[in-house]
């Protein structure tokens, strides 16, 4: 049974940094086959794709609002994906989710992902 567990969310001041982790387990196939995405959601708004990373070559894609500030990375040996967030802004406040699916191209379309974690809260405020 595929499980994704996010961690690392907390309260941080504007301009600060944070690293989120997504620990994966229970994959029926090699972890290298899975694309991992990070999404975020605030109450009353649709879930927004933030970043995703390719299963095999580590190529990544970012939504425009986080380019240059966020970096996604993965450690396949640990079956963990990270989201390094710098220069955080109040508008980055949201619940952050990781998601995965096998053999899909880089995409921030939520419907393409099959498995989701429960999320971790990130609050950017002074």
pLDDT in tens, 22-61: 999 998 888 888 999 999 999 999 999 999 999 778 899 9
What does the pLDDT average to over 91-99?
98
Please count the other Cβ atoms lying within 10 Å of the Cβ belonging to residue 4: 23
Percentage of the chain lying above the pLDDT 90 cut: 85
The Cα 32–Cα 15 span in angstroms is 34
Q: State yes or no: pLDDT of 72 exceeds 90.
A: yes
Would you say 52 and 71 are in contact if contact means Cβ atoms under 8 Å apart? no
The Cα 95–Cα 54 span in angstroms is 23
């Amino acid at each position: 049974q595929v499980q994704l567990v996010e961690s690392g969310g907390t309260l941080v001041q504007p301009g600060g940094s944070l690293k989120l982790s997504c620990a994966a387990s229970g994959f029926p196939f090699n972890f290298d086959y899975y694309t991992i995405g990070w999404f975020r959601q605030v109450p009353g708004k649709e879930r927004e794709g933030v970043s995703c990373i390719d299963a095999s070559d580590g190529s990544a894609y970012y939504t425009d609002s986080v380019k240059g500030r966020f970096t996604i990375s993965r450690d396949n040996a640990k079956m963990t994906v990270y989201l390094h967030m710098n220069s955080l802004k109040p508008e980055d406040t949201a619940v952050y989710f990781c998601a995965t699916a096998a053999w899909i191209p880089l995409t921030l379309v939520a419907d393409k992902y099959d498995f989701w974690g429960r999320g971790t809260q990130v609050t950017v405020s002074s």
